Chains A and B, each alone.
Chain A
């Protein structure tokens, strides 16, 4: 029995023009206790609507949501055993840090001494012990973010909902917070549901990731599986970087633009495709190696870009451009205009539904 259960949740919005948008289109989801669960997708895919539906800030049209065996979709937000870290932090500007954190506990009529203790503990958890008397406006963005986190954690929620909490931070701060959030989740054992549109963040943090598109979950799996076995071209392209090459299938393999050919035994064994007709091949840039002989892919080098840890070679196969990411050290780097061959590593090429 799963901890956070979402069954057949639907939510339809009416646009001002009178059209209908299915923000959530029959979404079902099971999240385990203590899991770090990530909902990933482009903006408008429904992930935030689902998060807000769990929080009770939005009401689904139909479906069921339960936490720890208790149905919550029929109780108001203020009675639900879940708390949210908002994207904008939504700290109360007229209250001090301490008052912000205490607010939620006062709502539960927790005793004064206990509030004091739990506020202190929450501040310690986010390493901002000295900030109790400050106002939110006196804190940096990163500190505000931690206070928002402390405020929600102090309530000891069964599920902590995080709505793109790191999107306003700069890259370096964000990396640090990612690690800290992950550590905090492991220490507290609280189930985290984390919404983001940043696939790198999703992969580095999630135990499991649900990829959303147009109000539906397209794929739900571990980061590794999603990266390695994307179910379709959208996921392959959205998660990490992928070369999507349109080819045509034959009995022995796939013909590619520019005269290249990949034989069936080079393609991941779990991929099924017909013996004729168009087919989309997905190959990650890092899964190429330079072929000194005739490669599976043949093309002209258009650009060579040095990025430090790798060299990215843009190769033109007829009109399709593919990117190969080669080690910047120890291998030969081709020149612009050179005709080269590329081979996908064994079983790394996949066919994907478009």
Chain B
């Protein structure tokens, strides 16, 4: 038997050579891999003396300056600014995740228990925002919470004119919740849709009331969807830029805003890269955490692609 023949017998019909994926892998190495590598390398270099870019001189000062400030007189002190930015990013992403989950569970269950026609329409209604630019959606929510918008007008009429939502941390949060809500609804819905309502019927039959059914039967059953939703909201929220920029008014910087600043006006690429590396590390840490939680609570591997 020739060698070629043997080889053909190994694969199943329709199975194509893994070499086919090679161009994609090469392209992604250039388009994704190298930029990440460059980011890591740059984070250990000096900033350029003039203009943008870096000076090729190894110096871990960027990481040091995450915590330590060098005063003009040469003394050093603890710098809490970037820690605070990190903390804010975590806090806002966390609150966004919790708030979106609280609202997404009811609507996902509600859609999943409608009859088929209604369900399709409602599903389309929560999917549509996916197809709309985040920039436009952020702009839309900005117009709503603007001092001259409906919320501002109502507050003005009620005599709370001195309160402002726009350009406050609350505005950033509202924007994050608004933008990422569909990212939570859809994965929970796909779990809720698979929920066998006969389970709930069995629980009712055994004497459980509606809140008990919800807590002890429904929630554990849709847990994979909730975990997926947490990942899909928390990760992009952590790296979000537009909401704090357009709604927070620069007062509530998140990591992404500081990275953008250092590649823009501040012209400190190494520091921006160091923050990027930090953000990558935090994201991967969170991914590992959520995979661990997912495996623990559902016994299934959480997959991100």
Contacts and interface: CB of A to CB of B under 8 A. Distances in A.
A90 B196 contact: yes
A103 B205 contact: no
B208 A78 contact: yes
Interface residues of B, number: 17
Contacts of B87: none
Choose among A79, A84, A88, A92 the residue with the greatest number of B CB atoms under 10 Å from its CB.
Answer: A92
A56 B204 contact: yes
A151 to B, nearest CB: 7
B41 interface: no
A103 B199 CA distance: 12
A107 B199 contact: no
B201 interface: yes
B32 to A, nearest CB: 38
Interface stretch (B61-69, B216-224, B239-247, B259-267): B216-224
Nearest to A99: B216
Contact of A94 (B198, B209, B220): B220
A94 B207 contact: no
Interface in A23-54: none
Interface string A127-167: 00000000000000000000000011001000000000000
Interface residues on A, range: 20 to 34
Given A92-B217, A94-B220, A103 B208 contact: yes
B198 A83 contact: no
A77 interface: yes
A107 B201 contact: no
Interface in B190-207: 196, 198-199, 201-207
Given A88-B196, A90-B196, A151 B206 contact: yes
Given A90-B196, A94-B221, A107-B212, A155 B206 contact: yes
Nearest to B200: A90
Given A92-B217, A94-B220, A103-B216, A86 B202 contact: yes
Nearest to B206: A104
Interface of A: 55-57, 76-79, 83-84, 86, 88, 90-94, 103-104, 107-108, 151-152, 155
Contact of A103 (B201, B203, B221): B203
Given A88-B196, A94-B220, A83 B206 contact: yes
13 contacts: A55-B205, A77-B201, A77-B204, A78-B209, A86-B202, A88-B196, A90-B199, A90-B201, A92-B202, A94-B220, A104-B207, A108-B207, A152-B206
A86 B201 contact: yes
A152 B196 CA distance: 19
B204 A57 contact: yes
Given A92-B217, A94-B221, A103-B216, A79 B207 contact: yes
Contacts of B204: 56-57, 76-78
A30 to B, nearest CB: 23
A76 B212 CA distance: 14
A151 B202 CA distance: 10
Nearest to A135: B299
Contacts of B212: 107
B198 A86 contact: yes
B207 A107 contact: yes
Contacts of A78: 204-209
Interface string B21-65: 000000000000000000000000000000000000000000000
B203 A84 contact: no
A92 B208 contact: no
A73 B217 CA distance: 25
Given A86-B201, A92-B202, 17 more contacts: A55-B205, A56-B204, A76-B204, A78-B204, A78-B206, A78-B208, A83-B206, A84-B202, A90-B199, A90-B202, A103-B203, A103-B216, A104-B207, A104-B208, A107-B209, A107-B212, A108-B207
Choose among A57, A88, A94 the residue with the greatest number of B CB atoms under 10 Å from its CB.
Answer: A94
